[in-house]
Amino acid sequence: MTWENSAITIATLLPIAGALVIALVPRDAEKAVRALGIVFTGAAMVIAIAIAIDFDYSAGAGLQFELDTAWIPAISARYHVGIDGISLPLYVLTFVLSFLCAVYTWRFVPEPGKTKAFLGLMLLLETGMAGTFIAFDLILFFIFWELVLVPMYFLIGIWGSANREYAAIKFFLYTLFGSIFMLLGFLAMFFSSDIGGAHSFDIVALQGFAAGGGFSDTFQLVVFGAVGLGFAVKVPMWPFHTWLPDAHTEAPTIGSVLLAGVMLKMGTYGFVRIALPLLPYGAEKYAPWIGLLAAIAIVYAALACLAQKDLKRLIAFSSVGHMGFVMLGIATLTSIGINAAIFGMVAHGLITGMLFFCVGSLYDRYHTREIAQIGGGLMQKLPYLGGVFAFVAIASLGLPGLAGFWGEVMALLSSFSPAESLSTPLFRAFMIAGGIGTILTAGYFLWMLQRVNMGTLPEKWKGEAFPDILAVEWVSWTPLLVGIVALGVFPSLLTEVTQEPVDALIGLFGF
């Protein structure tokens, strides 16, 4: 076991080890527990960044830091992990966001306390999320995919707000329902595969098999439907999105940050890593439908946001819209489109993660999320918080110069000229819908800022002594704010990483 092949395993499993250590700490040692949370997430993040530094960017298409050993011979599942240019940004994002959440927890643990359980579940969640991005065996992927369900269920159900039980069980059942079809699809692919005379769950091997025309057309249509359904529920694509507003709204702050920041990306990543490469014919046939649903999602989500009275629910719906842009990029089956999708994933992770942090802090002070109750004048009362909130909201609506712009514009650009086998007029119609969606997005964000940030401060808040942004908040937010600007001004930071592997992917299938 060298650094080369064990690094990503160590980084991925370190949080679980941290959870076990935290379980042993006595309940009263609050500070120690929170410190351990920061230590373990920080250590994992350091390893992840070291991997990012050590990564050979000129060879982004192939798997690096690879490890392929036997795991469950009874079902031919292997422990195959690795990282390439598509996985790397999301992998690093997971650890960075988790670390910042642990830092945030130093000061803020939601009702009813129980810091040990809170951090333990968050660490378990981190392992599940990180593992999904590095797994290259379908069963291993599935295990990590399902691993996130239980901690998130408990995070929402115990530490959430008023309607938490309903939101938690809805999230669990809905996502589980999607993933069982995904499992069926995986098993079907396993039994249809013939790699050196045997079946295989290995994603790399199956990719080669599929490229050689191994799966029949009808098979691909059926299995893409099954697997796509599982991913679609996670993204979430319209009309499978109804679990998301409740889950996001009721979850505690860091639950929402991780859910929106990383967990949604698992679904879109699944499309890019598994559904497209392993089922290319299916991808071609379903692409117009995915594009249609994505276009609907963009417009629908924007309209829904305009109607929202609850600040957190508004941001939750905005996630549906942003994921619509990501899925539109994927649906075009072009290099620009998939690059746009990955860029959009990372940008959304930074921006919406930041938005939920802001709303969480707002709620911590005002104890309400209703826009009407907040009333306005945030810029007067808490100028720094108002300023940061405005900055992130504007980043989210896609202002050029900030991270959100590139994901959206590249998705629309790719929709202008989709892959050769797809209908250009259809996708240009989607592009127009996307454009309308962008206008509506700007509309609802600016209207929200007007109602929350500007105007007169209501009487009832005038006397309250709310602290402006605290030190711990600055520490946990600054990396995200810097990242939003950095990616906005230097998009090549990300596109250079993803360009090669995406080109290789598209080239493999000649869409």
Site for other proteins, rule CB under 8 A:
72-75, 142-143, 146-147, 149-150, 153-154, 157-158, 164-165, 169, 172-173, 176-177, 180-181, 183-184, 187-188, 190-191
CA-to-CA separations, 266 to 87, 292, 489, in angstroms, rounded: 11, 21, 26
Q: Between 151 and 344, whose beta carbon lies closer to other proteins?
A: 151
Query: Can you read off the two tokens belonging to residue 497?
Result: 């990483």
Min dist CB 93 to other proteins, Å, is 23
Helical H runs in 271-382? 276-278, 280-307, 311-331, 335-366, 371-374, 378-381
- Asked if residue 314 lies in contact with residue 444, where contact means CB atoms within 8 angstroms, the answer is yes
Q: Between 131 and 488, whose beta carbon lies closer to other proteins?
A: 131
Q: Between 149 and 287, whose beta carbon lies closer to other proteins?
A: 149
Q: Between 164 and 322, whose beta carbon lies closer to other proteins?
A: 164
Min dist CB 194 to other proteins, Å, is 14
CA distance 136 to 201: 9
Q: Between 183 and 436, whose beta carbon lies closer to other proteins?
A: 183
The residue type at 473: E
Q: Between 68 and 146, whose beta carbon lies closer to other proteins?
A: 146
- Asked if residue 257 lies in contact with residue 101, where contact means CB atoms within 8 angstroms, the answer is yes
- Rounded to 10 degrees, the C-alpha dihedral 215/219/224/230 comes to -110
Min dist CB 66 to other proteins, Å, is 22
Q: Which long-range contacts (CB under 8 A, 24 or more apart) does 145-153 make?
A: 145/179, 145/182, 145/266, 145/270, 146/176, 146/179, 148/263, 148/266, 149/175, 149/176, 150/124, 151/121, 151/122, 151/124, 151/125, 152/125, 152/247, 152/251, 152/255, 152/259, 152/263
Measured in degrees and rounded to the nearest 5, phi and psi for residue 251 equal: -70, 155
Q: Between 131 and 329, whose beta carbon lies closer to other proteins?
A: 131
CA distance 304 to 299: 9
Q: Which long-range contacts (CB under 8 A, 24 or more apart) does 369-372 make?
A: 369/249, 369/310, 369/311, 369/312, 369/313, 370/309, 370/310, 370/311, 371/308, 371/309, 371/310, 371/311, 371/314, 371/448, 371/451, 371/452, 372/309
Min dist CB 387 to other proteins, Å, is 37
Min dist CB 279 to other proteins, Å, is 16
Q: Between 173 and 489, whose beta carbon lies closer to other proteins?
A: 173
Beta strands in 170-317 (DSSP E): none
Residue matched to tokens 């493999």: 508
- Asked if residue 321 lies in contact with residue 253, where contact means CB atoms within 8 angstroms, the answer is no
Q: Between 195 and 446, whose beta carbon lies closer to other proteins?
A: 195
Helix (H, G, I), strand (E, B) or coil at 160: coil
Q: Between 279 and 295, whose beta carbon lies closer to other proteins?
A: 279
Residue matched to tokens 């520490």: 475
Name every residue whose Cβ is closer than 8 Å to that of residue 226 and which is 6 or more positions away in sequence.
181, 182, 184, 185, 188
User: How many H-runs (helices) and E-runs (strands) does the chain carry?
Assistant: 24, 2
Q: Between 50 and 180, whose beta carbon lies closer to other proteins?
A: 180
- Asked if residue 128 lies in contact with residue 147, where contact means CB atoms within 8 angstroms, the answer is yes
Min dist CB 246 to other proteins, Å, is 16
